[in-house]
Amino acid sequence: MGTGPSAKKFGSRSKLKKYKRKTWLCRRVKDTDQIQDEIEKASETGKPIAFKYDDELPGGGQFYCVETGKHFTDAKALADHKKSRYYKKRCKELKQEKYTQDVAEWASGMTKEKLPPAHAKK
């Protein structure tokens, strides 16, 4: 047994913000409105979203799930993903109606009420 400094416990730095910041940005998934826009564009053209072969993406970018915005290594991985709970939950979220600016303003309490005039004109 040495008398030197003891090693820090695993995860002791997990509460510091500077260590969390990068992982939050890297692993963030696409928002539902972004995915709904992608689906609308694909339905307008009638063609599914296709990617050119790219070595940096898993599976060369050929196996892509539109609903979750993820790339997979092969067709089996994509098929297994489409059976998962996460995929089904995401599809259910996407089927809900898209929010508009009017709905956002109503939810925040910024509604524009039309009140009757204080002094009615004769």
Question: For the chain, which domains are there?
Answer: 31-108 (3.30.160)
Place of tokens 């098929």: 79
Can you give the pTM of this predicted structure?
A: 0.58
Q: What single DSSP character describes residue 78? A: H
- Sheet strands (E) in the chain: 63-65, 70-72
Q: What is the DSSP letter of 118?
A: S
Q: Is the pLDDT of residue 17 over 70?
A: no
How do residues 30-60 score in pLDDT, each as one tens digit? 888 888 888 888 888 887 777 788 888 888 8
37, 52, 79 from 31: Cα distances, Å: 10, 24, 22
Helix (H, G, I), strand (E, B) or coil at 20: helix
